[in-house]
């Protein structure tokens, strides 16, 4: 959420047209290309709508030095909200827990957006320990059959893994008497799953989520803020 002073500086930016007086209100940081699903909603890894990334395909993960420098610069410009997400699944980045803890150390309101298939008791412990403010899990269906249809070639058991991961996060919060992070179950709506909207609330309650979010799905992603990925650089 942008502060009044940030909005005032943005207005000054617009009136000036030449000088930036404030940084972005929020930033999305692309951490990794690694992935473990083929989602019909993914423009990077679903073959039918595959769009190759413009950056060096040999780089799988954002390295620590770049991430640290980027976070410090964003903090200096006044950015206070960052989303850790991207082309791949954030929890597949080998340094994800260190990265989330560092973001919170700098004072960011930080969130992770992920598919939920990799959350077990150990990951839940690390994620809650990092101090993050929000975990958002995207779930495209309400049963194993629909989930498999939304993720071609994916094991039907992943649906149960996602639900169990949500429960693990919720139980870890209860164990620590913590109100954060907020756990949000996100339901992208398309022609295949629009009938499930009425029952998504019950599933969120059953797994201990704090809320739900709904959005119409479009292949064209419209993002407000900045979106970062690691671009190729010379190797000495």
- Would you put residue 204 in left (φ > 0), alpha (ψ -120 to 50) or beta? alpha
pLDDT of residue 234: 37
pLDDT of residue 148: 76
Within a domain: residue 10?
no
Q: Which residues of the chain have pLDDT under 50?
A: 219-236
pLDDT of residue 17: 65
Enumerate the H helices of the chain as residue ranges. Answer: 4-16, 64-77, 96-105, 121-129, 144-150, 157-175, 200-206
225 contacts 30 by C-beta, under 8 angstroms:
no
Tell me if 3 is assigned to some domain.
Answer: no
Number of domains in the chain: 1
CATH code, domain with 147? 3.20.20.70
Query: The domain containing residue 158 runs over which residues?
Result: 23-228
Residue 18 lies in a domain: no
Is 197 a domain residue? yes
The pTM of this model reads 0.76
State the first-to-last Cα distance of the chain, in angstroms, to the nearest integer: 40
**What local confidence, expressed as pLDDT, does residue 171 receive?**
95
Token pair of 63, please? 């390295």
- Sequence-distant (6+) residues with CB within 8 A of 29 are 62, 67, 70, 82, 83, 84, 85, 86, 228
The percentage of the chain sitting over the pLDDT mark of 70, rounded to a whole number, equals: 69
Residue 1 lies in a domain: no
In a domain, 235, yes or no: no
């Amino acid at each position: 959420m942008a502060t009044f002073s940030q909005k005032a500086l943005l207005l000054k930016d617009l009136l000036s047209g030449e000088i930036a007086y404030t940084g972005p209100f929020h930033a999305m940081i692309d951490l990794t290309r690694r992935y473990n699903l083929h989602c019909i909603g993914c423009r990077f890894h679903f073959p039918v709508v595959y769009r190759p990334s413009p950056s060096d395909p040999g780089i799988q993960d954002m390295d620590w030095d770049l991430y640290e420098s980027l976070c410090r610069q964003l903090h200096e410009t006044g950015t206070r909200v960052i989303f850790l997400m991207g082309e791949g699944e954030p929890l597949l980045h080998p340094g994800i827990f260190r990265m989330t803890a560092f973001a919170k150390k700098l004072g960011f309101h930080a969130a992770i957006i992920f598919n939920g298939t990799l959350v077990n008791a150990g990951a839940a412990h690390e994620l809650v320990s990092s101090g993050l403010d929000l975990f958002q899990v995207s779930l495209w269906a309400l049963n194993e059959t629909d989930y498999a249809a939304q993720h071609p070639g994916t094991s039907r058991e992943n649906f149960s893994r996602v639900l169990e991961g949500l429960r693990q996060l919720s139980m870890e919060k209860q164990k620590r008497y913590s109100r954060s992070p907020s756990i949000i179950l996100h339901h992208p709506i398309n022609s295949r799953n629009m009938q499930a909207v009425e029952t998504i609330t019950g599933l969120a309650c059953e797994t201990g989520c704090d809320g739900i979010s709904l959005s119409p799905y479009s292949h064209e992603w419209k993002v407000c803020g900045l979106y970062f990925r690691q671009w190729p650089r010379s190797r000495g």
